[in-house]
Structures are given as C-alpha cells and as structure tokens.
Chains A and B, each alone.
Chain A
Amino acid sequence: MDVNYRQSMAMLRTRSQWIGMGVLFTFLCVAGRVLPSEMIDVMNMMFVTIVGAQGLNILTGYCGQISIGQAAFKGVGAYTTAMLIVRLGWNHWVALPVAALAAGGAGVAFGLPALRLRGFYLAMSTLAAQFILTTLFLFAMPGIVGGISGITVPFATIGGFSFRPPENLYYLLMPTCVVMTIIARNIAQSRLGRAFVAVRDNEVAAEIMGINPFGYKLRAFFIGCLFAGVAGWMRVLYDGCVRPDIYPLMMSIWLLGIIIIGGMGTIIGPILGVILVRSLNEMVLMLGPFIGGFFPPQIAIQMGAGLGLIVFSVVVIAFLVFQPRGLAHLWEVLGARLRHWPFKYELS
C-alpha cells in the first residue's frame, strides 16, 4: 500500500522490486560479454524497437492519439543522423539530439491536424505522413537523401573503441534504451503524463479541468516522435546505413501491434511486447525451414515470409480478443496470484 505521495511516485516501491531491478541490471551489464553473438544481435534490435515502441506508447497508449506513421518518424531521425554524419561530417553524438528534434518537429507538423481531427481521421493523417515521408526518402533530392540505395554511415567509435561488433554496440544501445525507458516512465508519472491520460479518457472533461487538449496532443506528438528519432539514430548505428525500405508501413503497424500485445498505457508493456514479438520472429526464422520440410518444395520457399506475417497477426488477434489489456495486465494478474497463493483473493 502506498502511504504517501513520495512513496507512490517512487520508481521502485518494494524491496522485491529493488532486488528484481538489481538482478535485471546485473544481467544487462554482464549479458553483452557472456551471451553468444547472435543473441546479443537480437537483443540490440530489441533495444532499438523498445525505444520506438515507448514513443508510440506515449502517443497512443497515454494520449490516445493513434499513429500509423511511427516508422516514418523513425526514418526521419535516421535520415537526419545519416545526412549530418556523411554530408556535413558531424560526429555521432552531436547528431543524436538534432535527429531527435528533427523527428519531433516532423511529428508536430503532422500532428497539427489534431486541432480539428480526432480518432480515426487523425490516424489517417499519420498514415498520410507515413506515405509522404517514405516517398520523400525514396525520391527527394537523390544526391543528398540517397535515393533507393540510401546512405552508408560509418560506425560509431570512441577513441579506438569501435561500436561495430554487436558485443560492443550492445553497450551503446542498452544504456540508451534504459535511459529512454526511465524518461518515458517519468513523463508518464508527471503532470504531463496525467494530462495525456485525461485527454485520452475524455477530451471534453479534460478541457473543462483546464487542460488544453490540442496543446497536450501536440506535446504527445512531439515526445512520441522524439523517441522515434532516438530509435532512428540507434537503428543507423545498428545497420550502418539508411535505406527507404527499412522504414515501411508494415513496421508502423508492427509497433502498434507490439504496444497492444504488451499493454497500452503502461511502461512495462512495450518492453514485454517487443520481447515477445521479437522472440516469436526469431523462432519463426529458426523453425521456418523445419516446417517447410513437410510441404512440397515450391511452397516451402515462400513459407518463411508468409509464416512471419501469420504468426504476428494471429498473436495480435488473439490478444485483442482474449486479453485486450495486454501482457502487462497478465503480468499483474500473475503477480497477484503469486502473492495471495494459495488463496485466490487477498484476505483482509
């Protein structure tokens, strides 16, 4: 039970949370040196996706503004990074805040229709953002933006320490992801986050309470896309290049699916969602050839691509139908069960 304000605002409230966090932290610190290289590669990808999903979660989960353009905003961050580094010769660290701000600015620009639109219509304007931005990546000024082949970006280094091998990159992406998650958590807990929730739950009521819905929606767009920009920067370091096809519509929908699976409006949700979806994806990649073996060869070749789509959409559908509040809720329910064991409910 929370006794006072300070305690209820604290990040870690119980002793078991402190222990759990300590274990997790030690694991994260050690993992980059202990686990096999392929696994670290997968984890790096997870960190990138988590930051993007946290941004979308603030925008969609907390503020209730659906966005089908998160991947494109990620692309804005990535392209800004690449252009600053390659065309202007900046270094990676200075490019980070600029990329984040550029993506945030693009988010505000495409969030402006929120002044008059809501719900479905606003989602369509972010869909328009997705199409317009990816078309720009592909065709606008090929000399500078890179056209279809994109831009190759050198990997980051500090002194002689290169972040190229996944084991080293891990120690760049992991802290970034942890810091962004803490920032997201603090935003959600502050006045800003509570105002987002008020706008999500009832716009008219929020306005009556003195919250300017339009202003807060724009702020949500800015913050959500800022996160996307940081994720784009991380993705550039991961890929070592930018290409238009890295940021497709499919990825925006993936991110939306991830926060639904994880549980919208929770901080742990996107993390759990990314872990589940990525692990499933890896499993499909591993099992694909095996399952394909049972089918005639001309079908087996197409198996991998199709199976990934099917698994993802079936998981999303299952969560929407059976557990709309996502893994985060499941997590809480399991925790409560464990706490009250062997009883089903709390004995007062």
Chain B
Amino acid sequence: MMGILLSLIFMQNFGARIGIPLAIACAAGLGWVLERGIMRPLIGQSIVSALLMTLAVAYLLDGVATIFWGTKIVPYPQWFPVQTFPVGAIKVHSGYVWTILVALGIFIGLGLFYRRTLMGKAMRATADSHQVSQSLGIKVSRIFSLSWIIAAVIAFALAFFFGVQVGAFRYVSEWGFRAIPAVLIGGLESILGAAIGGLLVGILEVIATAYLGPYIGSMFPFIVLLIVIIVRPHGLFGQPEIVRV
C-alpha cells in the first residue's frame, strides 16, 4: 500500500526512469527503519506482540495515507507501454506478462540467494534457531534488518505492477491478508511453495467465483487454508517442525 503511494509520488515528480530506483531505495530505507525502531525491541517477546506490532504498523501507514490521499482510487502512471496481443483465442494484456516475468525473476533470484550465498544460508539458519545461529557467529540482528529490507523492496516492486493494473488506493493493505493463505498453503520456508500456493489460491478463487458464486469465491482461499493447515500444518512444501522437550 505504502509502496504504491510512495512510488506514485516519486513517479509523478521525477518520471519513471529516476522514480523507480528512488522508490526502491526508499523501500529499503523504510524496511530498515521499521526493523530498527519497532521490531528490534520485541526480540524475545511473545508472538502476539510481533503479530500485533506488524498489524499496528500497517494501520499506522494506512492512517497516514488516508489523511494525505483520501479513500479514492488515484490513477497510476502507465510507465511501460501497455497493449494487448492475442495468444490463440485469448487477448493478453502486456501488463500481466510483465508482472509474471518479474515475479518469476524474483522467485529465481530469491531461490538462488537462499541456496547459494552465505548470507542466504545464514538467514535460513536464523529462521531455524536464533540461539544456535548466534553462537555460530551469525549476526542475528543484521539478518533481521536484511530480511525486512528484502521484504519491503519486493513489496514495492509488486506495487509498480499492481498500480498499473488496478490503480493506487489505500485499501491495498487489505491485500496483504490475501498473501497469507498463499504462503501458508505453500509452506512457510519454501519459495517454490509460496509460488505454487499463490497460483493455487488465485486459480481456485477465480474458479470458485465462476462456478459457486462470488461470495464463496472471496472466502474460498481461507476455506482451503483451513483444510490445508489441519491436514498438513506445515503446508504443502514446508518442512515439518520437530518438537523436542
């Protein structure tokens, strides 16, 4: 949400060529500031605190955005050539093609980052156990900052495409909740899982809307989520967690 609106300012003021890198730099900064100022004091506290903190931040940004932009949809600059071209019988909007390509690029890049680089491996180790990785010489606090920066930058990158297709408006933060079924169905620590979960949720929602009616469609991802986490709590591709005493 913030991604769309901030990138909107930059794009309007500087044009796409300079605006996009500037917005991404700003995303990294915002991610870092949030981690440093708000999430850091919560280390060692319960999961309720962390969860509520992120929700509170979302609503804080939401409130700021409401004050400055109101609740209407703001048109977003078409920053790349948009046309439709036929593939077989279907007309394809070039915005969607670009979105899919960029998403694919991000997936591959992230996958390589987590599997091949030292930093990526350190991140996965930290996710597994803070204490063990700390004692192995990994700077856990730095890993946290980095993961927040990555998350913010990806969210901003998504915003560029989202804006072109839908327009900028403040209820976008509700869309964050739509990512949750996708990630959990796929499995939390699996990139492939997130990709497949996202596709699954999108396709199921469209199919359910078409065949079962719009109201089942909008809650269908959550029904699937309930079933999946009851049957396989770690998601389709996640690793089961082993609990020791």
Does A139 reach chain B (CB closer than 8 Å)? yes
Does A30 reach chain B (CB closer than 8 Å)? no
Is A124 in contact with B180, judged by CB distance below 8 angstroms? yes
Does A280 reach chain B (CB closer than 8 Å)? no
Q: Using Cβ atoms and an 8 Å threshold, which residues of chain A touch B67?
A: 299, 302-303, 306-307, 310
Does B175 reach chain A (CB closer than 8 Å)? no
Distance in Å: Cβ of B190 to nearest Cβ of chain A: 15
Interface size on B, residues (CB 8 A): 43
Is B48 in contact with A264, judged by CB distance below 8 angstroms? yes
Does B25 reach chain A (CB closer than 8 Å)? no
**Complex: how many Å from CA A301 to CA B68?**
10
B56 is contacted by which of A119, A131, A132, A320 (Cβ under 8 Å)? A320
Is B229 in contact with A302, judged by CB distance below 8 angstroms? no
Is A119 in contact with B63, judged by CB distance below 8 angstroms? no
Does A10 reach chain B (CB closer than 8 Å)? no
Distance in Å: Cβ of B216 to nearest Cβ of chain A: 8
For A138, A299, A301, A309, the residue with the greatest tally of chain B CB atoms inside 10 Å of its CB is A309
Distance in Å: Cβ of B207 to nearest Cβ of chain A: 17
Is B45 in contact with A324, judged by CB distance below 8 angstroms? yes
Q: Using Cβ atoms and an 8 Å threshold, which residues of chain B touch A310?
A: 60, 63-64, 67
Does B47 reach chain A (CB closer than 8 Å)? yes
For B57, B71, B233, the residue with the greatest tally of chain A CB atoms inside 10 Å of its CB is B233
**Chain A contact residues: over half helix, strand or loop, or mixed?**
helix
Give A residues with C-beta under 8 Å from B: 60, 64, 66, 68, 112-113, 116-117, 119-121, 123-125, 127-128, 131-132, 135-136, 138-140, 204, 249-250, 253, 256-257, 260, 264, 298-299, 301-303, 305-310, 312-314, 316-317, 320-321, 324
Number of A-B contacts (CB under 8 A): 132
**Complex: how many Å from CA A60 to CA B52?**
12
Is B71 in contact with A302, judged by CB distance below 8 angstroms? yes
Q: A313-B60, A314-B60 are in contact. Are A321 and B41 (CB under 8 A)?
A: yes
Interface residues of B in 42-71 (CB under 8 A from A): 42, 45-49, 51-53, 55-57, 59-60, 62-71
Distance in Å: Cβ of B127 to nearest Cβ of chain A: 13
Is B225 in contact with A124, judged by CB distance below 8 angstroms? yes
Q: A60-B48, A121-B184 are in contact. Are A317 and B243 (CB under 8 A)?
A: no
Distance in Å: Cβ of B168 to nearest Cβ of chain A: 15
Give B residues with C-beta under 8 Å from A: 38, 41-42, 45-49, 51-53, 55-57, 59-60, 62-71, 177, 180-181, 184, 213, 215, 218-219, 222-223, 225-226, 229-230, 233, 243, 245
Is A309 in contact with B222, judged by CB distance below 8 angstroms? no
Is B47 in contact with A313, judged by CB distance below 8 angstroms? no
Q: Using Cβ atoms and an 8 Å threshold, which residues of chain A touch B47?
A: 66, 119-120, 123
Is A312 in contact with B229, judged by CB distance below 8 angstroms? no
Q: A299-B68, A309-B62, A313-B63 are in contact. Are A113 and B222 (CB under 8 A)?
A: no
Q: Using Cβ atoms and an 8 Å threshold, which residues of chain B touch A316?
A: 52-53, 56
**Complex: how many Å from CA A299 to CA B68?**
6
Q: A125-B226, A131-B219 are in contact. Are A306 and B66 (CB under 8 A)?
A: yes
Is A128 in contact with B222, judged by CB distance below 8 angstroms? yes
Chain A: CB-nearest residue to B231: A116
**Complex: how many Å from CA A135 to CA B225?**
15
Q: Using Cβ atoms and an 8 Å threshold, which residues of chain A touch B229?
A: 113, 116-117, 121, 124-125
**Complex: how many Å from CA A131 to CA B225?**
12
Chain B: CB-nearest residue to A140: B215
Is A320 in contact with B42, judged by CB distance below 8 angstroms? yes
**Complex: how many Å from CA A250 to CA B180?**
17
Distance in Å: Cβ of A125 to nearest Cβ of chain B: 6
B52 is contacted by which of A303, A308, A320 (Cβ under 8 Å)? A320
Distance in Å: Cβ of A7 to nearest Cβ of chain B: 32
Q: Using Cβ atoms and an 8 Å threshold, which residues of chain A touch B64?
A: 306, 310
Is A127 in contact with B180, judged by CB distance below 8 angstroms? yes
**Complex: how many Å from CA A123 to CA B53?**
14
Distance in Å: Cβ of A134 to nearest Cβ of chain B: 9
The 4 closest A-B pairs by CB, nearest first: A309-B63, A139-B215, A306-B66, A306-B67
Q: A303-B67, A321-B38 are in contact. Are A309 and B60 (CB under 8 A)?
A: yes
Is A128 in contact with B42, judged by CB distance below 8 angstroms? no
Chain B: CB-nearest residue to A110: B226
Is B48 in contact with A121, judged by CB distance below 8 angstroms? no
Q: Using Cβ atoms and an 8 Å threshold, which residues of chain B touch A123?
A: 47, 51
Q: Using Cβ atoms and an 8 Å threshold, which residues of chain B touch A305?
A: 63, 66, 71
**Complex: how many Å from CA A124 to CA B188?**
12
Is B60 in contact with A317, judged by CB distance below 8 angstroms? yes
**Complex: how many Å from CA A139 to CA B181?**
21
Q: Using Cβ atoms and an 8 Å threshold, which residues of chain B touch A320?
A: 41-42, 45, 49, 52-53, 56
Distance in Å: Cβ of A140 to nearest Cβ of chain B: 8
Q: Using Cβ atoms and an 8 Å threshold, which residues of chain B touch A250?
A: 59
Q: Using Cβ atoms and an 8 Å threshold, which residues of chain B touch A68?
A: 51
Distance in Å: Cβ of B45 to nearest Cβ of chain A: 6
**Apart from A124-B225, A313-B57, 12 more pairs, CB < 8 Å:** A66-B47, A120-B51, A123-B51, A128-B225, A128-B226, A132-B222, A132-B223, A139-B215, A264-B48, A298-B70, A308-B63, A316-B53
Chain B: CB-nearest residue to A260: B52
Q: Using Cβ atoms and an 8 Å threshold, which residues of chain A touch B66?
A: 302, 305-306, 309
**Complex: how many Å from CA A310 to CA B52?**
14
